[in-house]
């Protein structure tokens, strides 16, 4: 009897969950924070999200055509990556940054390395960080060039900037419920948490990764003159912990590995936020730990999965 599926990319273990339905669940989990960002930024948020999704889908179609492979838009991964990119961007971001981030995420981080399941980095974060770096050299990537609606009325310093410049920060309850400032995904920590809890309930992500990231960040920031709750609720830490660090392909699969991976991300986030400008620290921390996942898997794998050892050559 033929086994055609054995020639497909990993993962090969059958969890009983269809890829398409899992992608839909993640998009469903992003509905609260997406609606919150649209509430505050209106058509500007919708425009950036649509540009990111459209660019991601078109990039995947072109990449598949160039590789002479079957187009797999129906699995929803390109749409989801585009949605992530849109939410990671500020409403004041250039539309070109949304386009370039999507092309880099799908074209390089996903398709160039083999497609879904073969990527070394979280594609959305990879596109986001690369364009963040490029924006320093190419001004057209830096700020909004097309304004669908006026968002100047709620233009203000981000909570992380307030921490570093010792400005009067918003109240913690504001950060938890809704506070426009920063990326679209940073408008409401509660909305992100609700989506994350839903994904844990549906068993699409494991609680060990977000909990180890948040706990490590909380404990390590205590010696500094920063409120640890404020530190966790500000910026993209909650979004990174629940949605970006838990990417199935680029995170460990065993329990010990997940905790080590989460602790590593938490340590790097605290270091970056204390030493570097208050933008991109969470994304950079997750990408660095993505690189270390194979080594983490190797040292934490169950003995039954290890290669057999021989004192001498058998036979």
What is the 3-state secondary structure of the chain? CCCHHHHCCCCCCCCCCCHHHHHHHHHHHCHHHHHHHHHHHCHHHHHHHHHHHHHHHHHHHHHHHHCCCCCCHHHCHHHHHHHHHHHHCCCCCCHHHHHHHHHHHHHHHHHHCCCCCCCCCCHHHHHHHHHHHHCCCCHHHCCCCCCCCCCHHHCCCCHHHHHHHCCCCCCHHHHHHCCCCCCHHHCCHHHHHHHHHHHHHCCCCCCHHHHHHHHHHHHHCCCCCCCHHHHHHCCCHHHHHHHHCCCCCCCCCCHHHHHHHHHHHHHHHHHHHHHCCCCCHHHHHHHHHHHHHHHHHHHHCCHHHCCCCCCCCCC
pLDDT classification of 43: cutoffs 50, 70, 90: very high
pLDDT classification of 4: cutoffs 50, 70, 90: very low
**Which range (60-69, 145-154, 240-249) has the least confidence?**
145-154
Domain limits of the chain?
28-147+160-300
pLDDT tens, position by position, 114-140: 888 889 999 999 999 999 999 988 888
- Mean pLDDT, to the nearest integer, of 75-88? 96
């Amino acid at each position: 009897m033929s086994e055609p599926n054995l020639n497909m990319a990993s993962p090969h273990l059958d969890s009983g969950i269809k890829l398409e339905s899992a992608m839909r669940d993640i998009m469903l989990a992003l509905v609260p924070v997406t609606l919150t960002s649209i509430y505050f930024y209106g058509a500007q948020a919708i425009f950036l999200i649509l540009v990111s999704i459209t660019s991601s889908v078109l990039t995947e179609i072109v990449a598949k055509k160039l590789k002479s492979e079957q187009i797999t838009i129906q699995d929803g991964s390109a749409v989801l990556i585009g949605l992530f990119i849109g939410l990671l961007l500020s409403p004041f971001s250039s539309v070109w940054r949304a386009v370039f981030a999507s092309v880099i995420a799908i074209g390089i981080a996903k398709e160039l390395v083999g497609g879904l399941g073969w990527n070394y980095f979280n594609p959305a974060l990879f596109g986001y960080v690369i364009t963040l770096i490029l924006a320093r050299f190419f001004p057209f990537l830096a700020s909004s060039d097309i304004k669908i609606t006026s968002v100047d009325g709620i233009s203000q310093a981000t909570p992380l900037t307030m921490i570093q410049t010792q400005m009067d920060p918003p109240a913690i309850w504001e950060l938890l419920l809704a506070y426009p400032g920063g990326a679209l995904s940073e408008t409401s920590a509660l909305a992100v948490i609700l989506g994350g809890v839903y994904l844990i309930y549906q068993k699409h992500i494991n609680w060990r990764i977000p909990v180890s990231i948040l706990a490590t960040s909380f404990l390590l920031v205590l010696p500094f003159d920063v409120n640890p709750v404020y530190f966790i609720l500000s910026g993209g830490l909650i979004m990174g912990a629940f949605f970006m660090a838990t990417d199935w392909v680029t995170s460990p699969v065993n329990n010990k590995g997940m905790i080590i991976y989460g602790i590593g991300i938490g340590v790097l986030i605290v270091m970056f936020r204390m030493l570097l400008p208050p933008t991109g620290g969470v994304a950079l921390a997750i990408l660095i730990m993505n690189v270390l996942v194979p080594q983490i898997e190797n040292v934490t794998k169950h003995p039954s999965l290890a290669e057999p050892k021989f004192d001498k050559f058998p036979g």
